[in-house]
Chain A
Amino acid sequence: QKEVEQDPGPLSVPEGAIVSLNCTYSNSAFQYFMWYRQYSRKGPELLMYTYSSGNKEDGRFTAQVDKSSKYISLFIRDSQPSDSATYLCAMSAVEVVGAQKLVFGQGTRLTINP
């Protein structure tokens, strides 16, 4: 069983829809949770970052972490064609300060149709 599971999709929705992307994980030591966005033939870029449980909002994006269920989500409101990309969840446990190794999900390929 992989430490981090993410539905690879692909997911295709119309412009303006609310998108929900999810990951589950098995390692209860994970404390840092991130979402990266990767455009085609580019490197991933950090989109959202959350420490421990709770919600974080940034414009049209909301990240949620439920440590009790080992489940994280990314919501995109009023989705735009420019949101079309692969979204990767990532998480880490701090073993030594400054020495965090991220574990990634498989990535979900999202297409927003005009």
Chain B
Amino acid sequence: DAEITQSPRHKITETGRQVTLACHQTWNHNNMFWYRQDLGHGLRLIHYSYGVQDTNKGEVSDGYSVSRSNTEDLPLTLESAASSQTSVYFCASSDPSGSTGELFFGEGSRLTVL
């Protein structure tokens, strides 16, 4: 079955360190997204991509970057981790030919920045 996997599922890091969260999907979807989920804020869009070599900023992109070198992967990098980036991060993908724009989510990566 096609799926979307995130790694690591849990990570603890220190302020100032660089962190990369991996996202891999086997749906062959062109569209991929990174969200963060915090209490009281729901899901907020960080970055998204509509295809290889395409990346775009979402509403909370400061301090984050992504790159898209193939269809399957969209890694999220925190250049210099801050305590405000402690959150649960979700990767998602969607089929641009689908009529609903439905997002398929991974299981999430829980990041703690000390």
A→B interface (CB under 8 Å): 4, 6, 8, 32, 34, 41-46, 49, 51, 88, 90, 92, 94, 97-107
Interface residues of B, count at CB 8 A: 26
How close is B77's CB to chain A, nearest CB, in angstroms?
21
In Å, the complex CA distance between A101 and B46 comes to: 11
Point out the residue from B40, B48, B96 that lies within 8 Å of A8, measured CB to CB. B40
Contact residue among B40, B97, B101, B108 (Cβ-Cβ distance under 8 Å from A32): B101
Q: What are 7 A-B residue pairs whose CB atoms fall within 8 Å in the complex? A: A42-B107, A43-B92, A46-B100, A99-B50, A100-B94, A102-B103, A106-B41
Using Cβ atoms and an 8 Å threshold, which residues of chain B touch A34? 100, 102
- Whether B102 and A49, one on each chain, are in contact in the complex, defined by CB atoms closer than 8 angstroms, is yes
Contacts of B48 in A (CB 8 A): 101
In the complex, are the beta carbons of B100 and A49 less than 8 A apart?
Answer: yes
Task: Find A92's partner among B30, B90, B101 (CB 8 Å cutoff).
Answer: B101
Asked whether B34 is an interface residue with its Cβ less than 8 Å from the other chain, the reply is no
Chain B residues with a Cβ under 8 A of chain A: 30-31, 33, 35, 40-45, 48, 50, 58, 90, 92, 94, 96-97, 100-103, 105-108
Contact yes or no, B101 A107, CB < 8 A: no
Flag if A42 contacts B31 (CB, 8 Å).
no
Given the complex of chains A and B, what is the CA–CA distance between A107 and B35 in angstroms?
Answer: 14
**A46, B41: Cβ atoms under 8 Å?**
no
Beta-carbon nearest neighbor of B110 in chain A:
A41
Provide the residues of chain A in CB contact with B40, threshold 8 Å: 8, 106
B97: chain A residues within 8 A (beta carbon): 98
CB–CB A43/B43 < 8 A: no
Are A43 and B101 also in contact (CB < 8 A) when A8-B40, A100-B94, A106-B42 are? no
Return A99 CB to nearest CB of chain B, in Å: 6
Which chain B positions have C-beta within 8 A of A92? 101
9 nearest CB pairs, A to B: A98-B96, A43-B105, A100-B101, A106-B42, A104-B43, A104-B42, A49-B100, A46-B102, A107-B42
